[in-house]
Amino acid sequence: MQAPAVLLMAVIFLLNFTGRVILAPLLPTVEADLGITHAQAGMFFLFLSAGYLTAMTGAGYVSARLTHRRTVILSFALLGLATMAVSGAPGLNGMRLGLFAMGLGAGLYLPSAIATITSLVSRPHWGKAISIHELAPNVSFFSVPLLGELLLRSLSWRSILFRFGVVTFLSSGLYALLGRGGRFAGEPPAPAVVWRFLKDPMLWIVLVLFIMGVAITLGVFTMLPLYLVSTRGLSEAWANFLVGLSRGACPLLALVAGWAADRFGVRRTLVVTLTLSGITVALVGLAPDSWIALAVIIQPTVAVGFFPAGFTALSTLGDARTRGTAVSLVVPMAFVIGGGGIPWFLGLCGDLGAFDLGFVWVGVLTLAGAATALLYKPQHTA
């Protein structure tokens, strides 16, 4: 297995994913500074996800002209510039436009990353390679709340975003110097290829699974600090510390989940992960205040198991040249609904005085996703 190349992609994916969640620990401060509602705050992630959808839908055209390698470089340059723009946006509309641009930059990355990794690694090791790549979001989930709270002690939220944008922009040069693989063109989403996928029931099953996988990880994470501060009465510092602490074991558990997907099978891993996740997400809303810390800590340790198995399932939907199209069809819609719609829904519940109930409903929907996972049938492609 090409471990150094996969590890480098995991490192830059850490920056990519951090760009999509960096607002989460800053959200109580941003909300107070701008004087906006919970739903308006949650809508920030909807705009970011909309940009993500737009970019991933057209990612095949971009990689077909630039190659996957150059698409990754472009992705980080755009993400960095857009983040710097958000940091200086004077008002709400400017921030929304900047967040949409951040989504554009972030969305170009994943199809080319999956195509690159699965071309470097043999099929029997896909689960392990993808689990290494998936260390990035889990490290980000752990580090961003803690780092955000630490930086807020001396910097404004705008200064934090600006500095992150600079680092992200510079990372495009790092990958240009050290990145391996991806020196081949992507497959643009030709109508015939898209239509073939749209007729495949497995695509729709995997889409439902990814919506719930994103909801229980990214969707819950983005609104959890705001929920803990506004509804559960925690201080912002304690809320961010607790959310970060709860993700501490996730990087190791992601590796275990990749091994489990290879050892026990993708479908079984998905069913177990989504079932337990549905229960634990609901517990975040149902637990009394004295038990909320325990509920917050348990929830992500289960949810982290989804993505190694989920991306392995997604990678079997096409061959090496069309796999990027499958990713471009499934992942952006999952992030718009699970990573954009769910935060908006939770924020709306908060405005209606039912923040707790919002988490319960997300848990119920996740259990429905677990039932859908029973219908998944692995496909074997080269």
What's the whole-number mean pLDDT along residues 200-206? 86
What's the pLDDT band for 382 if we cut at 50, 70, 90?
A: very low
In the chain, where are the structural domains located? 3-373
Q: Is the pTM of this model over 0.85?
A: no
- Reported for 156-161, long-range contacts at CB under 8 A and 24+ positions apart, including other chains, are 157/26, 157/29, 157/30, 157/33, 158/87, 158/88, 159/87, 160/22, 160/26, 160/87, 161/22, 161/26, 161/83, 161/84, 161/86, 161/87
What would the pLDDT profile of 13-57 be if each residue is shown by its tens digit?
888 889 888 888 898 899 888 888 998 988 898 899 899 889 888
pLDDT one-digit tens code per residue, 267-315: 888 888 899 999 999 999 999 988 998 999 888 888 877 887 887 788 7
Per residue in 184-201, pLDDT tens? 777 677 777 778 787 788
Domain 3-373 fold: Growth Hormone; Chain: A; (1.20.1250)
Token representation of residue 239: 């809320």
pLDDT for residue 364 is more than 90: yes
Q: What average pLDDT does the chain have?
A: 84
Q: With 70 as the cut, is the pLDDT of residue 123 above it?
A: no
